[in-house]
Amino acid sequence: MSDLRGFQRLAVDATVGLTDVVEAMHRTIARPPLLFGAAQDGRTNGITGLVYRTVRGVTRVVGASLDTLLGALAPLVDQRPSSPQREAVLAALNGVLGDYLVASGNPLAIPMELRHAGKPVALDRASLATAFPNARGRLLVLVHGLCMNDRQWQRDGHDHGAALARALDCTSVYVRYNSGLHVSTNGRALADLMEVLVAAWPVPVERVAILGHSMGGLVARSACHSAERAGHRWRRRLDALVFLGTPHLGAPAERAGSLADYVIALSPYTAPLARLGLIRSAGIKDLRHGYVRDEDWQVHAPRGIHPSLPLPAGVRCCAIAASKQAPAAAGTPARVRGDGIVPVSSALGRHRDPARDLALPATRQWIAFDSGHFDLLSSTDVCARIQGWLAEGRARRPRQPRR
């Protein structure tokens, strides 16, 4: 029932928004400006304006009535357990419109939460002990990417979290979040979640590692930044960060989308259509240059010229990129083609400007050839590489005393 109410609200908002676009184009065509003149305010007058105002008014009245009716019926309808299909739809919707869902109070918005076996786990000691009866002192936190959720670490019968937990004698925990929010917003939320998780964990936490896929790696970096500013204790237990296909230096697809918005907005005849491109979420826009801090995306700040946020000090950071090329056809590292979504240089944090280069050691970089962006989730070779890095740190770092 909450889903129905959420989609009903989205339908109303979409109808009103589309009406605004049509009215703006109608006005431009009815009163032609110069080809590249200033865009008009988008409102029509007289009977035409009355028609558009009526459409918007009736839509809002019908929407409010339906929302009230569905709210009254909700207590009478049995709540069904969520399914993987529903979770996937909600994750994709939040990735595209997540910031708008939160701003409009839509029940489809996903909160950040710890998950186990596809279900939320409360962050108190009793709930965590029930969900993780064999809790270990070493934690592996898995953070998914854009438009995805915690269940989607399971791919083609393989789950990095489960495999690494068995091999390394650690406990894997999964985070689900609204990937349409700014990366820095999710980073703060993850930092706060980690602080509560470590404090409430059933056994003393010795070490923490974070595995982030795609956007999840940016959220993890942002969480470290927020934790350092807030003085969180969990940050001192962070031992390793592993990035899978993370666009540290940005994703070309989002930069192309931003350029298309700019070109469309140049002419008043097509400017109303630019509104459709602007509905994509803040999270997607952050991928343009790999933004991880508030100052990276805030309006008053220059866009795309900030030095990269340095990797957290005292943490072993490792990165894996995917390439659809075969190893024999790859050539020099600088000419390796990416996975179709994230270039190899971006995934490995390589940039000719030292202010943007992440300076990852060569021994902590690896390219998975013959692989796409999502193949990184199911590759046993990738899992073996992660296991080797995490096991290496475990062997070198002395065991901390229990508190």
Average pLDDT, stretch 330-344?
A: 77
**Token pair belonging to 247:** 């666009």
Residue 288 pLDDT level (bands cut at 50, 70, 90): confident
Lowest mean pLDDT among 28-37, 136-145, 181-190, 347-356: 28-37
pLDDT surpassing 80 at residue 321: yes
From the centroid of its chain, how far is CA 203? 30
Residue 398 pLDDT level (bands cut at 50, 70, 90): very low
pLDDT surpassing 80 at residue 29: no
pLDDT digit string, tens, across residues 14-23? 676 666 666 5
**Do 226 and 182 meet the contact criterion of CB atoms below 8 Å apart?**
no
pLDDT surpassing 80 at residue 394: no
Average pLDDT, stretch 188-194?
A: 98
The contacts of residue 324 (CB under 8 Å, 6+ apart) are 337, 338, 339, 340, 370, 371, 372
Average pLDDT, stretch 291-304?
A: 76
Average pLDDT, stretch 280-308?
A: 80
pLDDT at residue 11 in the model = 73
Percent of the chain with pLDDT over 90: 54
Average pLDDT, stretch 96-117?
A: 91
Residue 338 pLDDT level (bands cut at 50, 70, 90): confident
**Do 214 and 373 meet the contact criterion of CB atoms below 8 Å apart?**
yes
pLDDT at residue 83 in the model = 84
pLDDT surpassing 50 at residue 111: yes
pTM (2 d.p.): 0.81
pLDDT at residue 139 in the model = 98
pLDDT surpassing 80 at residue 38: no
Lowest mean pLDDT among 269-278, 287-296, 338-347: 269-278
pLDDT digit string, tens, across residues 122-180? 999 999 999 999 999 999 999 999 999 999 999 999 999 999 999 999 999 999 999 99
Distances in Å between the Cα of 280 and the Cα atoms of 11, 147, 188 are 16, 12, 22
Residue 81 pLDDT level (bands cut at 50, 70, 90): confident
Residue 100 pLDDT level (bands cut at 50, 70, 90): confident
pLDDT surpassing 70 at residue 204: yes
pLDDT at residue 401 in the model = 42
pLDDT surpassing 60 at residue 76: no
**Do 236 and 204 meet the contact criterion of CB atoms below 8 Å apart?**
no
Rounded CA separation 25/167 (Å): 60
pLDDT at residue 35 in the model = 47
From the centroid of its chain, how far is CA 147? 7
pLDDT surpassing 70 at residue 210: yes
pLDDT digit string, tens, across residues 236-281? 999 999 999 999 998 886 555 554 555 444 455 455 455 555 677 8
* Listed residue (367, 302, 380, 378) closest to 339, CA to CA: 367
Average pLDDT, stretch 339-350?
A: 92
Question: Mean pLDDT score of the chain, rounded to an integer?
Answer: 83
pLDDT at residue 41 in the model = 56
pLDDT at residue 326 in the model = 86
Helices (H), 267-321: 271-278, 282-286, 294-297
What are the chain's domains? 2-82 (no CATH), 113-250+305-396 (3.40.50.1820)
Average pLDDT, stretch 208-230?
A: 97
Average pLDDT, stretch 361-390?
A: 96
